[in-house]
Structure 1
Amino acid sequence: MPAGLSDGLPPEAGFEAAIVERLMAAFGAWGYERVKPPLIEFEDSLLSGPGEAMAADTFRLMDPISQRMMGLRADITPQVGRIAASRLTNAPRPIRLSYAGQVLRVKGEQMRPERQIGQAGVELIGTTSAAADAEVILLGAEALNAVGVQQLVVDLNVPTLAPAILRDAGIADPKALIAALDRKDMTAVRQSAGSLTPLLEALIHAVGPADTAIEALNALKLDGDAAIQRERLRAVVALIRAARPDLTLTVDPTDHRGFEYHTGVTFSLLAPSVRGDFGRGGRYVNQAGEPATGFTLYLDTLQRALPASAAPNRIFVPHGTPPAEAQRLRGEGWVTIQGLEAAKDDAAEARRLGCTRLWRNGQPVELK
């Protein structure tokens, strides 16, 4: 197989499908309706708006029918934005959409070397309210709790805060400083920030549990857009606290990696001792210029973190058993393995095929 690609085998493939089913049920309970974008589409629509950030990760090929370049999706979020902006342009706002599917990327990442990744997520499109930011975070937490994630941590970020501070200070090319802040590189900040050094150092230190981080941010003298971004973060934290006081919230106001196209409060969903994040999300603007917020969950991380589902109750139904009996067993929740020809030893055949029970004389018999 090519690097970063693999077959999904039993029971893992079934386990992933079961996780998706439970996630989609959680999304649906909050009013998010499922859409199903195509695996491949023209690159000018796939890579517009938020999709531009995924251009380097996108496989491309020529469509032999239209002779136009197409892209194999590396992320589903831009496709959902396109659907909302085109096919559902007349749907009342805000519109709540959910999705699940596979994406393919040119190369993997250090924490996620796989190139084919299963995703599931939601997008809330057409509103700028802080309540919308809080809703998707609360939904992400509830959905993860529903599939069995424990000790969930929501790490809140404001990737637009540092750029706003640097822009207000008149710094023409802030990229190097933003990268230094992202790395928490105090030395690089001191070498480049000049009179902004004390403020940016304080911003780097405003990291940790949400309450203490917000307190540290409140102590900073911020003006203009930076002050607006801080206030939005404070409002979102308050809304989450009111709804889920048990939820662990942390804040890192300088985290920028992976949030390049976002325009407001963002977040990562994490758990102690779990490699990688469960998902990421936040506020952005879609292809039509509509405000939106949402998140994407990564199924590979969920499969690593969750205990394997219990093996189904497989019962061996010997050859010659009336079909009605097997049908009744399936109706009661059994997984029936039908004997396709007479066996010398039905019990041995049942064990060979991974069954825990044998149907004998109208009764399920436990196999020792």
Structure 2
Amino acid sequence: MMSTWLLPESLADVLPAEARRIEELRRELLDLYRAYGFELVAPPLVEYLDSLLSDKGSDLALRTCKLVDQLSGRTLGLRADITPQIARIDAHLLNREGVTRLCYCGSVLHARPAGLLSDRELLQIGAELFGHAGVEADIEIIQLALESVQRAGVVGARLDLNHLGIVRALIDSDLALADVADEVIELLSTKDVPGMRQLGGRLPDLRPETLQALTVLPSLYGGVEVLAEASRVLPALPRIQQAMADLQTLIQAMPEYEFSIDLADAGSGYGYHSGVMFSIYAQGWHDALVKGGRYDGIGRSFGRERPATGFSLDLRKLSSGLPPARLAKAIRAPWGTDPALTEALRGLRGSGEIVVQSLPGETHDLDEFTVDRELVFVDGAWRVRAIN
């Protein structure tokens, strides 16, 4: 018989000191987003499935746990990503004109872990900016994402950039690629140049210049110098030129950060993102800490198509790569109902001190606190003294 304390695979409890740090990170980051003018929203954990999967590819559908609503008989989804819910709120509930800035934090559940070292339950926090199509909004979002990891204590963050407008322009400019777009994206993401040439051989109507661009795209990765090379070798399509200009503007706006470019890395974002894509990496984490980018039109299925850009991160993963959480200092106090003792406890706690009152016969065994002082009755008054 299976032990009742075992959890399902890729799910884990978070114990006291770590849970406290995650909660402190949540508060600090939400306060940071508020300082930028982002308003907090809290969508439900479960929604009708068609709402959760709006404008998204099959990847999200595979990650979403499904169940039947006993009230309506319709299929519900346990959210695997909060971003579509934020788009629904912007498009249908708020329905504002102009720019709307929204932030959120909540649990999401994946039916399957995203990777070998990934958890299925994430505490997703993020910020979304709706209503502005310019690169200025992308710059604000990326700056906020970078400040988020810096506030958490991450050192040496590196920013990876791409622009889906380049790949989309190439695919949309050649009708021969209309039915094989997903295959093209997969070949680009794995940098499979021989496979791309084989694909070209199966498409007699594919223009040679399009195939040439698709085979050179996997080599366009590295530092910011990649943009100059891309401008030289890629077709001079207006959308490609605009994408290059946006990336250049973005990089120039943040000269203090280290950037890397990979113009073939569309990944699973092709059906989702529409412009600038970015990921933030740092030593100590096996994959991206933050993912984000532009996804114009995500509100289409909710009746209102708007420009949108944003990012999200998992607070549990962020915390797991930081140095061990520091224990909070606490005061030990005896049990008692003496009014003077009660008043002393109230005063200490009101000033922000942690005071653990010992119950009769209790021995302290604490993971989150280190008890370095005690409350004692000395010379007719309750006083705090250090524990030697």
User: Normalized against structure 2, the TM-score is what?
Assistant: 0.86
- Which residue matches 2:183? 176
The reply on whether 1:67 has 2:86 as its aligned counterpart is no
Question: Aligned to 1:313, what secondary structure does the other structure show?
Answer: strand
SS in 2 for 1:219: helix
Change (3 A) 1:184 1:342: closer
Shift of 1:354: 4.8
**Greater mean alpha carbon deviation, residues 269-278 or residues 16-25:** 269-278
Q: What CA distance in whole angstroms lies between the structure 1 residues aligned with 2:183 and 2:360?
A: 71
Tell me the equivalent position of 1:346.
none
Give, in whole Å, the separation in 1 of the partners of 2:194 and 2:216: 14
Distance 2:349 2:32 in 1: 26
- Partner Cα distance (1:66, 1:177) in 2: 41
Q: Quick one: structure 1 residues 354 and 144, their matched pair in 2 at CA, closer, same or farther if it must change by over 3 Å?
A: closer
**Unpaired stretches in structure 1, ≥5 consecutive residues:** 344-348
> How far is 1:272 from its partner?
2.9
2:298 aligned with 1:286, yes or no? yes
Distance change in 2, residues 1:21/1:249 (3 Å)? same
Superimposed CA distance per residue, residues 100-139 of structure 1 (whole angstroms, 9 cap, x where no aligned partner)? 0000111002255311111000111112111111111111
Aligned match of 2:233: 220
1:333-359 per-residue CA deviation (whole Å, 9 max, x = no partner) reads 32110122277xxxxx46778522212
Structure 2 CA distance for partners of 1:175 and 1:86, relative to 1, 3 Å: closer
Cα deviation 1:34-62 (Å, max 9, x = unaligned): 00000001112222124765222111111
What pairs with 1:101-112 in structure 2 (closer than 5 Å)? 101-112=106-117
TM-score (norm 1): 0.90
Number of aligned residues = 358
Structure 2 partner of 1:359: 375
Matches within 5 A, 1:1-368: 1-50=7-56, 53-89=59-95, 91-172=96-177, 173-193=180-200, 195=208, 196-209=210-223, 211-224=224-237, 227-242=238-253, 244-260=254-270, 261-284=272-295, 285-287=297-299, 288-320=304-336, 322-341=341-360, 349=363, 354-360=370-376, 361=378, 362-368=382-388
Q: Take 1:291 and 1:281, find their aligned partners in 2: how far apart are those partners?
A: 14
Native 8 Å contact 2:48 2:74 kept in 1: yes
Matched residues in 1 for 2:51 and 2:308: separation? 18
Q: Distance in 1 between matches of 2:94 and 2:58?
A: 22
Cα contact 2:333–2:357 (8 A) shared by 1: yes
Distance 1:110 1:40 in 2: 24
The amino acid across from 2:314 in the alignment is Y
2-side partners of 1:281 and 1:189: how far apart? 27
Query: Secondary structure of the residue that 2:328 maps to in structure 1?
Result: coil
Q: Aligned partner of 1:219: which letter?
A: R
Report the Cα offset of residue 16 of structure 1.
1.0
Q: Shift of the alpha carbon at 1:192?
A: 3.0
